[in-house]
Structure 1
Amino acid sequence: VAKGIRRITAVTKGAALQALKEGDRFESLVADAEALDAETTEDLDKTAGALRKELDAAFVSAPRKAALRARIEAIQKNATDAKKKALQKRVDTVLNDLTAEVEAAAEAGQKSMVVSVDIGADSKASQRVMKTVQTIAPDMAFL
């Protein structure tokens, strides 16, 4: 814009209307995703990620796009937190069952034990399992 120009008149007509409609569509999609329960919906973070990619490619006003991105990030955070809570709950259940099994085996005088535990692929959870078994029965070989 040159010096002395005070106003710029832009004619966007259909493109502006299309951007508004697209923004409204994304508002409803994000609202639907926010209404889903993060604890019962397993793929909520994937859905939110796909929604974010679609939003990035969409023709929507910049302020609205930024606000929608922030809402989508909140959805993804809630989904991640719910997954962590579910994994923690599952690990705690497995540890309680495993503790009872190891104590019974230690009382019976077993020197080795092979148990399959359902903790997923979490390395911290597997370390917790190993430490729990070692504290209960330090002389037992555990696999």
Structure 2
Amino acid sequence: MVEVKFYDSIDDKLLKFAVIISKTNGKWIFCKHRERDTYEVPGGHRESGEDILSVAKRELMEETGATDFTIKPICVYSVKGKTRVSESIDDETFGMLFYADVFSFEEIHSEIEKILITDNLVKNWTYPLIQPKLIEEAKNRGYL
């Protein structure tokens, strides 16, 4: 089982991921990885020396082609349990959840095959036990 928790803040060193709930003109933005048939919210791993806001901006640009956008942090989240990135049911990994409004795009140059811009949430999630909960938390906190 996967457990998702939310926090207002945490030690920055623990943040391993940035996930960016994104919209353009009021529509959702989702990504489709080349190796999967599912959709996900843009996001990714923190690289050595990066601050978490830089991770969010880089991942948003790489995965959606966003060139002009506003971005703001929502909250810290954690995932505990066996996932694609964690083999142990006891591992708890932390990330920062962001919200972005995207105003313009360019061609994508990454592992992302395409983006989907839609009025509705997707049904075929890459991370169905995690990302819908992140969106729900963003709604609860007044970001959506």
Report if TM-score (shorter chain) is over 0.5: no
Q: Which has the higher strand share?
A: 2
What TM-score does the superposition give when structure 2 sets the normalisation length? 0.19
Q: Which has the higher helix share?
A: 1
Whose relative contact order is higher, 1 or 2, with alpha carbons under 8 Å and at least 6 apart?
Answer: 2
What TM-score does the superposition give when structure 1 sets the normalisation length? 0.19
